[in-house]
Amino acid sequence: MPEPFTLYKLIVLYMLEKVDFPLTNSQISEFILDREYTTYFTLQSVLSELSESGMIHQETIRNTSYYSLNTAGEEALHYFQNRISKSIRDEIDQYIAENKMELRDEVSVISDYYKNTADEYSVHCIVKEKYSNPIDLTITVPDETQAKIVCRNWKRNCQRIYEYVMKELL
């Protein structure tokens, strides 16, 4: 049986390997903390160490951290995967199978904004899929309040916007 900290790292790597999209800090935390594998602070240390060691890639967009598996993490997992008990692997497999669509939908629609050189705000709206971004749109608005509104509404309306654009262009 591996030491607990190593086991937590392997659990995170295993979860990331089972999906073809990044998982957020809250998605990983929800699974691990709901099953009381460890504490929140220990999990944050695990994620930090995995990121610093190059096992996972961390991207932060609008205060949300997204994690994906790097090659080094894949190699480590394949070498040490047998150190995760079958029951834990089965729990992860079941959780991913039951929640994959919700997990994917939560991370596939992203928006962020930044102040541009014209002293306005550019809002970057994306719909991500495994190997492409069907929509990658940047909109300029005059102030931060409007940028926040666009970000908030993007998730809710992206499907309808995509359908409208495709209908009008094809």
**CA 99 – CA 143 distance, rounded (Å):** 37
**Per residue in 70-112, pLDDT tens?**
999 999 999 998 999 999 999 999 999 999 888 887 888 888 8
DSSP 142: S
**pTM value > 0.85:** no
The C-alpha angle 80, 84, 85, rounded to 5 degrees, equals: 140
Q: Answer whether 55's CB lies under 8 Å from 13's CB.
A: yes
Give the confidence band of 1 by pLDDT, cuts at 50, 70, 90: very low
Structure confidence at residue 55 (pLDDT): 95
b/e burial code for range 33-72 (CB count within 10 A of at least 16 → b):
eeeebbeeeebeebbeebbeeebbeeeeeeeebbbbbbee
**CA 107 – CA 163 distance, rounded (Å):** 20
As a whole-number percent, the residues of the chain with pLDDT over 90 amount to: 69
**CA 103 – CA 135 distance, rounded (Å):** 19
Structure confidence at residue 102 (pLDDT): 85
b/e burial code for range 133-145 (CB count within 10 A of at least 16 → b):
eebebeeebeeee
**Per residue in 102-142, pLDDT tens?**
888 788 888 889 999 999 999 999 988 766 788 899 999 99
**Per residue in 5-62, pLDDT tens?**
899 999 999 999 999 888 999 999 999 999 999 999 999 999 999 999 999 999 887 7
